[in-house]
């Protein structure tokens, strides 16, 4: 909101390094075990004033040869515009804690493995940020492997508390939200994290 203020595009990322390559405008053929990385870019027009927001829903549908069965992976994010405040850069990494693999933008796992996701928040701007809210969700076919650590100190003066779900318990699957109180000055770097277990 307002309408027609934001636009979104999806790009392929063959190297899985977070850098967009070619725009994706059609379906992509894959083989079993192939890893696909994409970059989603959201642009705001001149009408995106302070408080404007954009709800971005991304669905990835996989069709299989020889069967009508399909699989849908969904992700929903919200982008909010501000002014005269810090601009934060968020990056998300994952590590297979069971296999003790290296942390990266993508990873592999098997049923029963525990994956640790980390959302890093960095203030690269010249102004402090405040009233920070972080949105995420457990990936499809996973659930929390343990309660999320909360509250956590992010930087020197920002404290982030998990507010969604209200009941922070092992086995939960769904949206996650951290509300962060305090100030996040320029140059600050911190993170929140959560662990999930891949369903059998």
pLDDT 10s digits, 6-60: 888 999 998 887 888 999 999 989 888 888 888 888 888 777 776 788 888 888 8
Residue 157 pLDDT exceeds 70? yes
With beta carbons less than 8 A apart as the criterion, state whether 96 and 109 touch: yes
List, as one string, the DSSP characters of 75-92: EEEEEE--SSS--EEEEE
Proportion of the chain above pLDDT 70, given as a percent: 96
159-195 pLDDT per residue, tens: 999 999 999 999 999 999 999 999 999 999 999 999 9
Predicted pLDDT of residue 82 = 62
- Domain ranges within the chain, ordered by starting residue: 1-83, 85-200
- Alpha-carbon distance 141 to 132, whole Å? 28
Q: Are 160 and 180 in contact (CB under 8 A)?
A: yes
**pTM of the full structure:** 0.62
CATH code, residues 85-200: 2.60.40
- Dihedral of CA 77/82/87/88: which sign? negative
What pLDDT is attached to residue 84?
52
């Amino acid at each position: 909101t307002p309408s027609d203020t934001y636009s979104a595009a999806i790009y392929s990322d063959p190297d899985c390094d977070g850098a967009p390559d070619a725009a994706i405008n059609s379906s992509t053929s894959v083989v079993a075990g192939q890893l696909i990385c994409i970059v989603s870019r959201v642009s705001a027009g001149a009408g995106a004033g302070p408080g404007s927001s954009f709800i971005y829903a991304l669905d990835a549908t996989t069709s299989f040869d020889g069967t009508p069965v399909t699989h849908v992976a969904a992700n929903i994010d919200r982008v909010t515009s501000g002014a005269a405040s810090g601009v934060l850069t968020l990056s998300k990494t994952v590590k297979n804690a069971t296999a003790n693999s290296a942390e990266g933008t993508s990873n592999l796992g098997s049923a029963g493995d525990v994956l640790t996701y980390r959302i890093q928040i960095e203030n690269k701007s010249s102004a402090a940020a405040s009233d920070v809210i972080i949105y995420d969700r457990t990936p499809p076919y996973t659930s929390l492997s343990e309660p999320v650590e909360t509250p956590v100190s992010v930087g020197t003066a920002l404290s982030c508390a998990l507010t969604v779900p209200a009941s922070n318990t092992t086995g939960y699957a769904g949206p996650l939200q951290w509300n962060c109180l305090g100030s996040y000055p320029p140059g600050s770097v911190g993170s929140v994290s959560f662990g999930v277990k891949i369903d059998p």
